[in-house]
Amino acid sequence: MKKKILVAGGTGYIGSHTTVELQQAGYDVLIIDDLSNSNIEVLDGIERITGIRPEFVQLDLKDKEGTRKALQEHPGVEGVILFAASKAVGESVQQPLKYYRNNITTLINILELMPEFNMKGIVFSSSCTVYGQPDPENLPVTENAPIKPATSPYGNTKQINEEIIRDTIHAGAPFKSIILRYFNPIGAHPTAEIGELPNGVPQNLIPYLVQTAIGIRKELSVFGDDYNTPDGSCIRDYINVVDLAKAHVVAMNRMLENKSDDKMEIFNLGTGRGVSVLELVNTFEKATGVKVPHKIVGRREGDIEQVWANPEKANNVLGWKAEESLEDTLKSAWNWQLKLRERGIQ
């Protein structure tokens, strides 16, 4: 019999790609999502790719009773992947309580419900934001790099979430956990059936860049060219979203099949390659043949100068590696934008 996984936040950007990979690896998926930052049509995209429509419950995971009821009505869940969270850094500064309430209540509810339903493991979406700006000797960052004070309430919720999981496991919880620290996920499924759907004016680089390339935005602002980096713009580790999704399947297998004695493990998910904003714009133009009008503006408050991953632990221990090239990943983001235009969405 197929094993069933709860994908909390499964209609979102990373959640939808992970649902596809889980289904293709032979898992059944139950999605719970309140659709606050996603769209029900994502289920159609998932079904077009895999031929399978995941079970779906529209529900706010802050509602513990509702979540319990959903799990009773959709029995047999063996593990959970928790994506559901608010994730806009700027908004979190303006509305910190929304972030603390959403991101912390949801995790506590899930952790409390897991033993009731005999779930064996949780994969948690964390972020490289927990490292802040690593000291130069700690670049590329390993999982042992110091955790720096968070620079936004969003970042703080990720740190607190990790601590909540650590304390719960330490107290003898009857399940395992794997925390995945994502670097910068970008791109879309190669079929262009699912991808990132930002609300309003995009805050993140790739959605803004592709919207500029297609003419929705006039020009991309590059936030700063006076950083201490080779071309002066910030450096990040951009990881293909399908590669990232696959790591969740490996992590879930690892817990359900008891491949490790550790009850809690942490992995960086990145490519190991740092790319500057200007390099990224150039690579996009070369890969797609489409120009991206851009100008240099001042630095964005709170930006980290440079951070990229040392992914060796994930490579060696999980046996997972980022495979896609940056060129193909950027092409997938562009194809997704073209598909949105075709459908009259954006």
Active site residues per annotation: 154
- Strand segments (E) across the chain: 4-8, 28-33, 55-58, 77-82, 121-127, 176-182, 184-186, 220-223, 235-236, 238-240, 264-269, 275-276, 294-297
C-beta closer to ligand UFG: residue 37 or 335: 37
| Torsion sign, CA atoms 13, 223, 153, 134 | positive
Q: Which residues pair with 306 in a beta bridge?
A: 235
Tell me how far, at minimum, the Cβ of 205 lies from ligand UFG, in Å.
Answer: 4
CA–CA–CA angle 304, 183, 28 (5° rounding): 150
Tell me how far, at minimum, the Cβ of 249 lies from ligand UFG, in Å.
Answer: 20
C-beta closer to ligand UFG: residue 113 or 220: 220
C-beta closer to ligand UFG: residue 6 or 220: 220
C-beta closer to ligand UFG: residue 54 or 195: 195
Q: Which residues contact 190 (CB under 8 A, 6 or more apart)?
A: 242, 332, 335
Tell me how far, at minimum, the Cβ of 272 lies from ligand UFG, in Å.
Answer: 16
Tell me how far, at minimum, the Cβ of 68 lies from ligand UFG, in Å.
Answer: 30
Whether residue 293 is preceded by a cis peptide bond, meaning omega within 30 degrees of 0, is no
C-beta closer to ligand UFG: residue 18 or 129: 129
Q: Which residues pair with 55 in a beta bridge?
A: 30
Q: Report the first-to-last Cα separation within the chain, whole angstroms.
A: 41
The token pair that represents 242 in the structure block: 């399908």
Tell me how far, at minimum, the Cβ of 337 lies from ligand UFG, in Å.
Answer: 15
Closest by CA to 54, choosing from 15, 87, 90, is 15
Contact residues toward ligand UFG (CB under 6 A) are: 87, 89, 127, 129, 184, 203-205, 208, 220-223, 234, 236, 277, 300, 303
